[in-house]
Amino acid sequence: MLPTTSGIGSGLMRSIIERCSLHKYIKSTLLEELKKNEGEIFTATKFQRFFSAMDRDIVHKPKAAVRWFGHPKLRRIQRVFLHKYFTYFGMLVAASNLLVISVELDLKRDSSLYEKHSMLRVLNFIFVVYYLLEQLVRLWANGWARYITDPSNVFDAVVTVALIAGEIVTTAINGTPFYSKTDASILHRRPIVWNVIRIINILIMVRMFKMVPIVRSMNLVASVLLDLIKNMRSFLGISVVCFYAFAMLGMELFHGAIEYSPKMSNQTYDCGTYEQLEYWANNFDDFYASVVVLWDVMVVNNWQVFLYVFARKTSPWSYLFFIAWWLLSVVIVLNLFTAIIMENFIMKWDRRHQLSASSFDCVTVPVHLNTVHSMFKDLLEEPADSELLAALKDHHYLRVRSWEEEG
């Protein structure tokens, strides 16, 4: 009699995945993995290995299919607008626009901002028209369904609509930027005009953020920063606990040590001292002021001023409090934060070479890891299956039977 393997079937696995509260991209990835193992019995090892798909840095959501035109000439034009070099050309135009803004504002700031027909306003108008045409041809070549699945297209569309709205406002108030003998050369000095001009220049600069996902090195750095923002709950919790503990301890040790009197305003003090700099609000008399003092010491903002004044007002032993805070906050906590950044960057750098999908064939959706433990799960040594089964057998409310016992 052949030994039977205990486990769960693919149908039960599907019901588990569908009932779990997971992100839709993670759930779709798990279901795709399950289709590859249809009809298989999942043992404890296979079950754990199957759900390791949740730890992937990315999942690939296929784009909608391209709607190719039947006419050969239209299809040839469509291929041109769908080519990656057309995207590179658009980035070159955006970089040229940013360069024009920088040069014009540096050389002719007054004429660029205050004249109706300045070279900057004319060139910005031409660039905005190009951005509009670029988005229209992209929409025509991709089709609506494929166009909106690409985040870069949505980003460009939002920025382009905002730029067009800004140009419409300035044109309605001051007329077209092109020279005319009948028009006045000075812009209307209204606050809305200046604000719209500033917004237009800022939005043109914002378009350059489109380079981040295109350039691989910039994309890697940006993804590391985004992952850190999403996964810093544990680190922020440690920082809050440290600030709270030292703030309460400082209030117990130094509360009321520094007293301010109006007569002190008429006295002279040595340069660089606590009294001369008028740091009277920085003390340990309340919780919020204590946090400010701890922050100043952590970022080394005139830290010696606080050490000297509390040593004069209390005792030289107060140095130990501030030295302990600096060692904990800077040497340990901030260095830990730096180590997390470097480790996350190295991990993503190593995994980047394993990706084979092109950004033009699919939409890359980042799946952030939920905890710092998950970020470095691959580096941790997990317990063996035998240890897990032994722990489950010893559980008070569970009864686990292996196939050896059944045989």
In this predicted model, what pLDDT tens digit does every residue of 292-328 receive, in sequence order? 999 988 888 788 888 898 988 899 999 999 999 999 9
- Name the region of 364 (left: φ>0; alpha: ψ -120 to 50; beta: rest): beta
> CA-CA distances (angstroms) from residue 191 to 116, 164, 317?
15, 19, 58
Distance CA 31, CA 27 (A): 6
Go through the chain and tell me how many residues it has. 407
pLDDT at 193 over 50: yes
When pLDDT is averaged across residues 192-196 and rounded to a whole number, the result is 64
pLDDT at 365 over 50: no
Distance CA 394, CA 185 (A): 87
Q: Which residue has the higher pLDDT, 213 or 86?
A: 86
Q: Which residue has the higher pLDDT, 90 or 374?
A: 90
In this prediction, residue 119 carries a pLDDT of: 78
pLDDT at 260 over 90: no
In this prediction, residue 4 carries a pLDDT of: 55
Q: How confident is the model at residue 2 (pLDDT cuts 50, 70, 90)?
A: very low
Q: Which residue has the higher pLDDT, 261 or 371?
A: 261
> What is this structure's pTM?
0.54
In this prediction, residue 406 carries a pLDDT of: 47
The domains found in the chain, sorted by start residue, are 10-56+367-406 (no CATH), 72-214 (1.20.120), 233-345 (1.10.287)
In this prediction, residue 347 carries a pLDDT of: 74
In this prediction, residue 357 carries a pLDDT of: 44
Q: Which residue has the higher pLDDT, 68 or 133?
A: 133
In this prediction, residue 323 carries a pLDDT of: 92
Angle formed at CA 324 by CA 318 and CA 325, multiple of 5 degrees: 95
Output the six-digit token pair for 127: 């660039």
Q: What does the DSSP 8-state code read for residue 124? A: H
Q: How confident is the model at residue 378 (pLDDT cuts 50, 70, 90)?
A: low
Q: How confident is the model at residue 280 (pLDDT cuts 50, 70, 90)?
A: confident
In this prediction, residue 364 carries a pLDDT of: 43
pLDDT at 190 over 80: no
